[in-house]
Structure 1
Amino acid sequence: MRLVIARCSVDYAGRLSAHLPIATRLLMLKADGSLLVHSDGGSYKPLNWMSPPCTLSTVEPDAEQLDAGITEIWRVTQAKTADMLVVSIYEVLHDSAHELGIDPGLQKDGVEAHLQKLLAEQIHLLGDGHTLVRREYMTAIGPVDILARDAAGAAVAVELKRRGDIDGVEQLTRYLELMNRDPHLAPVTGVFAAQEIKPQARTLAEDRGIRCLVLDYDAMRGLDDGESRLF
């Protein structure tokens, strides 16, 4: 990964156009070819970016650009859409490269992993007639927590979280878009399951036709007998 802190302006040209005026920003160049432009705010979300597959080329500024103070121009072109991200660099404050090695991927914490195991064993919690196909059903963009079939035999993809937020819904949406292209699986419906689901996440899920399921972890473990409680 290459990290460059520079005074720069950024222009995006393609299906949409966007301009970031001159400011000091972090330019993150990843090994997969992607480029992300970050400011010192906005949490994890970049101001602009170009996703792979893409190629980066360095262009010498012309006389007018040199007079304006531009020392280097990066052009990042998306291979599939020909969209282009142009970074005009005025001053480089930091430039370093780091070899991160192979990433092992996201590891679920103990509760999420146990939730997955318990739901696979208690697949009826999805509804009457549901059957388990497998846990960790692999797709081209990562594993779906649980693949099941409903009483009619239709495929159901389940994403599990301890606390369900919008990011989890977005993740399941990407899985569903990909899985529904597979004629052996389609149509695939989604279930977003968690111990707690935030209202915004529920609204987004329901808007996208994804069913929400709140899981009682203690009851699934046999530690809380809901039928014996007075309240």
Structure 2
Amino acid sequence: MRLVIARCQVDYVGRLTAHLPMANRLLLIKADGSVSVHSDDRAYKPLNWMSPPCWLIEDPDIWTVQNKAGERVVITIDEVLHDSSHELGVEPGLVKDGVEAHLQELLAEHVATLGEGWTLVRREFPTAIGPVDLMCRDAGGASVAVEIKRRGEIDGVEQLTRYLELLNRDPLLAPVRGIFAAQQIRPQARTLAEDRGIRCVVLDYDALRGIEPDEFRLF
């Protein structure tokens, strides 16, 4: 991973255009080829980025990041304040809570729980910022990304939002809808998800496991 802190301006040229005026920013160049531009006031979210596959062309004052679709991020460098490279080694991956991991496995086996005619594309669908729990297709063939939690909090909605922003840049997948699935979903998380067009699904762990409720029944 390469970390560059530079005074720069950034211009995105593609389906839309965007401009960031000259300022001090962090440029993050990862081993997977992705390049992202960060400020000091946006937490984890980059101001602009280019996902792999893409390539970086470095001239003394201008960096150009381009992908196969012809989209470009042009970074004009005024001054480099820091430039360092670091070898992070092999990423062992996120170790999930046992119940959460089992929920993902069960929902993958019973994806029709989300809708009739739905099919599973892949578990742990890879993206440049981490794997989506499930990538599915609905009965009409549209792509749906599913994020699974044991307890649905606002940070889980934010995580799924980041995945959707990235996935919808891929013309082979877009448009991609989102589902936020959990055993419990907090009201604030549900409100945020629904405001962003993300469907919320409450999962019944025992039902997915095929265990019927231990209750007296009339029939």
Q: Fold-level match, TM-score > 0.5?
A: yes
SS of alignment partner, residue 7 of structure 2: strand
Letter in 1 for 2:92: P
Aligned partner of 1:68 in structure 2 is none
User: Does the 8 Å CA contact 2:28/2:36 hold for their aligned counterparts?
Assistant: yes
Corresponding residue for residue 126 of structure 1:
113
| 2:62 is the counterpart of 1:73 | yes
Gapped runs of 5+ residues in structure 2? Answer: none
1:13-52 to structure 2, matched below 5 A, reads 13-52=13-52
Q: CA deviation at 1:213?
A: 2.4
**In 1, distance between residues paired with 2:63 and 2:4?**
12
Moved more, 86-95 or 35-44: 86-95
Task: State the 1:14 CA deviation.
Answer: 2.2
Q: TM-score, normalised by structure 1?
A: 0.62
- The answer to whether the aligner puts 1:115 opposite 2:103 as a matched pair is yes
Deviation for aligned residue 1:119: 5.4
- Match for residue 104 of structure 1 among 92, 112, 118: 92
Percent identity, aligned pairs only?
Answer: 49
Q: Report if aligned partners of 1:144, 1:157 keep a CA contact under 8 Å in 2.
A: no
Q: 1:23 to 1:226 in 2, by over 3 A?
A: farther
| Alpha-carbon distance between aligned partners in 2 of 1:58 and 1:193, rounded to the nearest angstrom | 43
Q: How far apart in 2 are the matches of 1:79 and 1:124?
A: 33
Partner Cα separation in structure 2 for residue 104 and residue 42 of structure 1: 27
After TM superposition, the structure 1 stretch with the greater mean CA deviation from structure 2, 159-168 or 86-95, is 159-168
Report the Cα offset of residue 219 of structure 1: 8.4
**What letter corresponds to residue 198 of structure 1 in structure 2?**
R
SS in 1 for 2:88: coil
Shift of 1:136: 6.5
Number of matched pairs: 202
Say if 1:49 and 1:110 are closer, same or farther in 2 by CA, change over 3 A: same
2:83 is matched with which residue?
Answer: 95
TM-score scaled to structure 2, two decimals? 0.65
Long gaps (5+) in structure 1: 61-71, 181-188
Q: Does residue 208 of structure 2 align to residue 199 of structure 1? A: no
Q: Contact 1:8 / 1:89 at 8 angstroms: preserved in 2?
A: yes
Matches within 5 A, 1:174-185: 174=167
- Residues in 1 aligned to 2:99 and 2:55: alpha-carbon distance in whole angstroms: 41
SS at match of 2:9: strand
Tell me the distance in 1 between the aligned counterparts of 2:120 and 2:17. Answer: 44
